[in-house]
Amino acid sequence: MSDMSRLILVGYGGFGREVAAWIGAAGMPYDVVGHIDDEKLDQPAVLGPIQGHRPRTDVAYVTCFGDGSDRHAVRCELEAAGARMGTVVAPSVIYVTSPTASKNSLFLGVCSISNDIVLGDDLLIQSFACIGHDVSIGTGVTIGAHAFIGGNARLEPFCTIHPHAVVLPHVTIGKGAVVGAGTVVIKDVPPGTTVFGVPAKIIVPGNT
Protein backbone atom coordinates (compact mmCIF):
# COMPACT_ATOMS: atom_id res chain seq x y z
CA MET A 1 0.00 0.00 0.00
CA SER A 2 1.48 3.33 -1.03
CA ASP A 3 1.94 6.30 1.29
CA MET A 4 -0.11 9.02 -0.45
CA SER A 5 2.03 11.74 1.13
CA ARG A 6 5.24 10.42 -0.48
CA LEU A 7 5.25 11.42 -4.13
CA ILE A 8 7.10 10.77 -7.33
CA LEU A 9 6.38 13.64 -9.68
CA VAL A 10 6.02 12.65 -13.32
CA GLY A 11 7.90 15.22 -15.38
CA TYR A 12 10.99 17.31 -14.69
CA GLY A 13 10.35 20.18 -17.09
CA GLY A 14 9.70 23.67 -15.83
CA PHE A 15 6.33 22.79 -14.36
CA GLY A 16 7.47 19.60 -12.63
CA ARG A 17 10.28 21.48 -10.92
CA GLU A 18 7.87 24.29 -10.04
CA VAL A 19 5.45 21.90 -8.33
CA ALA A 20 8.30 20.42 -6.31
CA ALA A 21 9.51 23.90 -5.35
CA TRP A 22 6.06 25.02 -4.21
CA ILE A 23 5.55 21.87 -2.16
CA GLY A 24 8.70 22.74 -0.26
CA ALA A 25 8.21 26.50 -0.04
CA ALA A 26 4.57 26.32 1.08
CA GLY A 27 5.18 23.60 3.63
CA MET A 28 2.76 21.23 1.95
CA PRO A 29 2.41 17.83 3.69
CA TYR A 30 4.14 15.90 0.92
CA ASP A 31 7.58 14.37 0.56
CA VAL A 32 8.86 14.50 -3.02
CA VAL A 33 10.98 11.37 -3.46
CA GLY A 34 12.03 12.38 -6.98
CA HIS A 35 10.87 12.69 -10.56
CA ILE A 36 10.62 10.44 -13.60
CA ASP A 37 11.17 11.99 -17.02
CA ASP A 38 12.04 10.69 -20.47
CA GLU A 39 14.38 13.58 -21.38
CA LYS A 40 16.09 14.89 -18.22
CA LEU A 41 17.89 11.71 -17.25
CA ASP A 42 21.12 13.55 -16.42
CA GLN A 43 19.49 15.42 -13.51
CA PRO A 44 20.12 14.10 -9.98
CA ALA A 45 16.44 14.38 -9.02
CA VAL A 46 15.35 12.20 -11.96
CA LEU A 47 15.01 8.56 -10.95
CA GLY A 48 14.61 7.24 -14.48
CA PRO A 49 12.41 7.44 -17.59
CA ILE A 50 8.63 7.36 -17.66
CA GLN A 51 8.55 4.79 -20.43
CA GLY A 52 9.03 1.35 -18.96
CA HIS A 53 8.94 2.63 -15.38
CA ARG A 54 8.08 -0.06 -12.84
CA PRO A 55 5.90 1.67 -10.25
CA ARG A 56 6.95 1.58 -6.63
CA THR A 57 4.51 0.42 -4.00
CA ASP A 58 5.63 2.86 -1.29
CA VAL A 59 4.75 6.11 -3.09
CA ALA A 60 1.99 7.81 -5.06
CA TYR A 61 2.47 9.40 -8.48
CA VAL A 62 1.27 12.78 -9.80
CA THR A 63 1.74 13.95 -13.38
CA CYS A 64 3.12 17.47 -13.79
CA PHE A 65 2.28 18.47 -17.37
CA GLY A 66 0.41 21.54 -18.53
CA ASP A 67 -1.60 19.58 -21.09
CA GLY A 68 -4.59 17.67 -19.73
CA SER A 69 -4.59 14.97 -22.40
CA ASP A 70 -0.94 14.22 -21.56
CA ARG A 71 -1.73 14.03 -17.84
CA HIS A 72 -4.56 11.62 -18.57
CA ALA A 73 -2.62 9.42 -21.01
CA VAL A 74 0.41 9.03 -18.74
CA ARG A 75 -1.78 8.39 -15.71
CA CYS A 76 -3.54 5.57 -17.55
CA GLU A 77 -0.19 4.03 -18.55
CA LEU A 78 1.14 4.18 -15.00
CA GLU A 79 -2.05 2.76 -13.50
CA ALA A 80 -1.98 -0.09 -15.99
CA ALA A 81 1.51 -0.89 -14.70
CA GLY A 82 0.25 -0.88 -11.09
CA ALA A 83 0.92 2.68 -9.92
CA ARG A 84 -1.25 4.42 -7.34
CA MET A 85 -2.00 8.03 -8.21
CA GLY A 86 -2.01 10.85 -5.70
CA THR A 87 -3.37 14.40 -5.66
CA VAL A 88 -1.68 17.57 -4.41
CA VAL A 89 -3.88 20.02 -2.50
CA ALA A 90 -2.13 23.12 -1.20
CA PRO A 91 -2.98 23.95 2.44
CA SER A 92 -4.18 27.38 1.25
CA VAL A 93 -6.89 25.92 -1.01
CA ILE A 94 -10.37 26.94 0.15
CA TYR A 95 -13.01 24.34 -0.58
CA VAL A 96 -16.49 23.11 0.22
CA THR A 97 -16.40 20.24 -2.27
CA SER A 98 -13.40 18.15 -1.26
CA PRO A 99 -10.76 17.94 -3.99
CA THR A 100 -9.18 14.80 -2.57
CA ALA A 101 -11.46 12.44 -4.51
CA SER A 102 -10.01 13.79 -7.77
CA LYS A 103 -7.22 11.46 -8.84
CA ASN A 104 -3.88 12.65 -10.24
CA SER A 105 -4.75 16.34 -9.82
CA LEU A 106 -3.08 19.53 -8.66
CA PHE A 107 -4.92 22.22 -6.68
CA LEU A 108 -2.45 25.04 -6.12
CA GLY A 109 -2.28 28.32 -4.24
CA VAL A 110 -5.36 30.05 -2.92
CA CYS A 111 -7.85 28.59 -5.37
CA SER A 112 -11.44 28.25 -4.15
CA ILE A 113 -13.87 25.43 -4.84
CA SER A 114 -17.51 25.97 -3.92
CA ASN A 115 -20.33 23.54 -3.14
CA ASP A 116 -21.79 20.67 -5.16
CA ILE A 117 -19.04 20.60 -7.76
CA VAL A 118 -18.32 17.54 -9.91
CA LEU A 119 -14.55 17.06 -10.22
CA GLY A 120 -12.99 14.76 -12.79
CA ASP A 121 -9.47 13.34 -12.64
CA ASP A 122 -6.18 14.66 -14.06
CA LEU A 123 -7.02 18.28 -13.21
CA LEU A 124 -4.76 21.31 -12.89
CA ILE A 125 -6.31 24.22 -11.01
CA GLN A 126 -3.89 27.06 -10.38
CA SER A 127 -3.59 29.83 -7.81
CA PHE A 128 -6.54 32.16 -7.21
CA ALA A 129 -8.87 30.35 -9.61
CA CYS A 130 -12.44 30.63 -8.33
CA ILE A 131 -14.98 27.90 -9.09
CA GLY A 132 -18.63 28.59 -8.34
CA HIS A 133 -21.39 26.29 -7.12
CA ASP A 134 -22.69 23.32 -9.13
CA VAL A 135 -19.90 23.47 -11.71
CA SER A 136 -19.03 20.29 -13.60
CA ILE A 137 -15.33 19.84 -14.41
CA GLY A 138 -14.39 16.96 -16.69
CA THR A 139 -11.26 14.86 -16.87
CA GLY A 140 -8.04 16.59 -17.87
CA VAL A 141 -9.32 20.16 -17.50
CA THR A 142 -6.79 22.96 -16.91
CA ILE A 143 -7.86 26.17 -15.14
CA GLY A 144 -5.29 28.96 -15.02
CA ALA A 145 -4.52 31.45 -12.28
CA HIS A 146 -7.20 34.04 -11.42
CA ALA A 147 -9.80 32.43 -13.70
CA PHE A 148 -13.45 32.58 -12.65
CA ILE A 149 -15.94 29.81 -13.41
CA GLY A 150 -19.55 30.82 -12.71
CA GLY A 151 -22.20 28.66 -11.09
CA ASN A 152 -23.63 25.76 -13.08
CA ALA A 153 -20.99 26.11 -15.80
CA ARG A 154 -19.81 22.93 -17.49
CA LEU A 155 -16.17 22.35 -18.46
CA GLU A 156 -15.97 19.31 -20.70
CA PRO A 157 -12.91 17.01 -20.72
CA PHE A 158 -9.51 18.36 -21.78
CA CYS A 159 -10.56 21.98 -22.18
CA THR A 160 -8.19 24.74 -21.06
CA ILE A 161 -9.17 27.97 -19.34
CA HIS A 162 -6.22 30.37 -19.41
CA PRO A 163 -5.41 32.90 -16.64
CA HIS A 164 -7.84 35.71 -15.83
CA ALA A 165 -10.54 34.26 -18.07
CA VAL A 166 -14.20 34.45 -16.99
CA VAL A 167 -16.75 31.75 -17.82
CA LEU A 168 -20.22 33.04 -16.99
CA PRO A 169 -22.82 30.91 -15.18
CA HIS A 170 -24.56 28.12 -17.12
CA VAL A 171 -22.01 28.28 -19.99
CA THR A 172 -20.56 25.06 -21.44
CA ILE A 173 -16.96 24.89 -22.65
CA GLY A 174 -16.74 22.00 -25.11
CA LYS A 175 -14.31 19.11 -25.07
CA GLY A 176 -10.77 20.19 -25.93
CA ALA A 177 -11.74 23.87 -26.32
CA VAL A 178 -9.33 26.65 -25.33
CA VAL A 179 -10.34 29.91 -23.65
CA GLY A 180 -7.65 32.56 -24.03
CA ALA A 181 -6.20 34.66 -21.23
CA GLY A 182 -8.49 37.45 -20.06
CA THR A 183 -11.41 36.23 -22.18
CA VAL A 184 -15.01 36.67 -21.04
CA VAL A 185 -17.18 33.78 -22.24
CA ILE A 186 -20.88 34.65 -22.39
CA LYS A 187 -22.16 31.71 -24.44
CA ASP A 188 -21.32 28.06 -25.09
CA VAL A 189 -18.00 27.25 -26.79
CA PRO A 190 -18.08 24.30 -29.23
CA PRO A 191 -15.66 21.38 -28.81
CA GLY A 192 -12.14 21.95 -30.10
CA THR A 193 -12.67 25.69 -30.54
CA THR A 194 -10.29 28.44 -29.40
CA VAL A 195 -11.87 31.70 -28.26
CA PHE A 196 -10.36 35.01 -27.22
CA GLY A 197 -11.53 38.49 -26.35
CA VAL A 198 -14.22 40.43 -24.47
CA PRO A 199 -16.71 39.08 -25.24
CA ALA A 200 -15.21 35.82 -26.52
CA LYS A 201 -14.84 35.45 -30.27
CA ILE A 202 -13.82 32.32 -32.17
CA ILE A 203 -10.25 32.56 -33.45
CA VAL A 204 -9.74 28.87 -34.22
CA PRO A 205 -12.89 26.93 -35.14
CA GLY A 206 -13.42 23.43 -33.85
CA ASN A 207 -13.56 20.26 -35.89
CA THR A 208 -17.15 19.78 -36.97
Domains of the chain: 6-86 (3.40.50.20), 89-198 (2.160.10.10)
Residue 22 has pLDDT above 60, yes or no: yes
**Digit-coded pLDDT (tens) for 128-184:** 999 999 999 999 999 999 999 999 999 999 999 999 999 999 999 999 999 999 999
Residue 1 has pLDDT above 50, yes or no: no
pTM: 0.95
Question: Is residue 174 within 8 Å of 155, Cβ to Cβ?
Answer: no
Amino acid at 40: K
pLDDT at residue 208, rounded to an integer: 57
Apex 171 CA angle, 163 and 73, nearest 5? 60
Helix (H) or strand (E) holding 149: strand 148-149
Distance separating alpha carbons of residues 157 and 136, to the nearest angstrom: 10
Name beta bridge partners: 142: 124, 160
Distance separating alpha carbons of residues 183 and 116, to the nearest angstrom: 25
